[in-house]
Amino acid sequence: MRNHIISNKFSISVFMHSVIFVALLFGITVYVSSADFIKVENFSLIDNNDRVWELSENPAPAKVIMFWATWCRYCQKLFPSIQALHEQYEKDGVQVIAISIYDEGDTVAYAKKNGLTMTILRGGDEIAQRLNIPATPSVLVLDDKNQIVFGAVNPKPSENEVENSVRKLLDIPIEQI
């Protein structure tokens, strides 16, 4: 089965949560596109170095935000491609941020064990609820005004939608693979 566009707003009804749950059970990647460019309101969370990280104090031409949990096996599969994205585009000012949600695990140990050098934020449950994030992993790409330009639930690492969204924001030609 191919990817399914589920909404032109990142607000998902109870029905859509059920559809997403069923899709995730069968391994179908579910994508959300944002025609209206919903702005993510400012938030602050604690990072893995016990410092406060605030969205508005971290300007970037693009931000990739992954909502994840230490217990999430799909997150484990996605992290290598998200880390590679961080390493490739950090020089261009792109910020890659992993926000732990619904998780009591040790994010510091997890990041160290898996060689994650991106910004890791903890305790993002309220942010996930505010943005109607239905599951882990979920990925958002924000522009320089913190508007959502791309969102995906359980994106496949082999597909390039996240990277292509970043490349568009940086005015870098999109490679056909």
Contact call for residues 124 and 67 (beta carbons, < 8 A): yes
In Å, what is the CA distance from 82 to each residue of 13, 15, 44, 148?
Answer: 28, 29, 22, 17
Q: What is the pLDDT of residues 1-48, one digit of tens each?
A: 333 333 333 444 444 445 545 554 455 554 545 445 688 999 999 999
Sheet containing strand 95-100, edge to edge, reads 4-5, 30-32, 148-153, 138-142, 63-68, 95-100, 119-122, 44-47, 52-54
CB 47 within 8 Å of CB 58: no
Instruction: Specify if 20 maps to a domain.
Output: yes
Angle at Cα 104 formed by Cα 100 and Cα 87, nearest 5°?
Answer: 30
* pLDDT, tens digit, 9 for 90 and up, residues 85-107: 999 999 999 999 999 999 999 99
Q: Is residue 111 part of a domain?
A: yes
Q: Which residue has the higher pLDDT, 32 or 65?
A: 65
Indicate whether 93 belongs to any domain.
yes
Q: Which residue has the higher pLDDT, 109 or 17?
A: 109
- 135-170 CB burial, b ≥16 within 10 A, e <16: bbbbbbbbbeebebbbbbbbbbeeebbbbbbbbbbe
If you ran DSSP here, which 8-state letter would residue 92 be given?
Answer: G
Per the prediction, the chain carries an average pLDDT of 83
The reply to whether 176 falls in a domain is: no
Residue 55 belongs to domain spanning? 4-167
- Per-residue confidence (pLDDT) for residue 132, from 0 to 100: 86
Q: Kindly state the tokens that stand for 16.
A: 């859509």
φ, ψ at 53 (rounded to 5°) = -115, 130
pLDDT in tens, 140-156: 999 999 999 888 888 87
Integer Cα distance of 130 and 118 in angstroms? 23
Note the pLDDT of residue 28: 52
User: Are 28 and 156 a contacting pair, CB within 8 Å?
Assistant: no
What does the CA dihedral 61, 48, 46, 75 come to, rounded to 10 degrees?
Answer: 70
Whether residue 174 is contained in a domain is answered as: no
User: In this predicted structure, what is the pLDDT of residue 36?
Assistant: 53
Note the pLDDT of residue 74.
93
Report the CATH number that the domain containing residue 79 is assigned in CATH.
3.40.30.10
Would residue 42 count as lying in a domain? yes
More confident call, 70 vs 13: 70
**Do the domain assignments include residue 135?**
yes
Task: Tokens 């994840």: give the residue.
Answer: 68
In a domain, 177, yes or no: no
In the chain, how many domains are there? 1
Is the pLDDT confidence value at 158 over 80? no
Q: How far is CA 31 from the centre of its chain?
A: 12
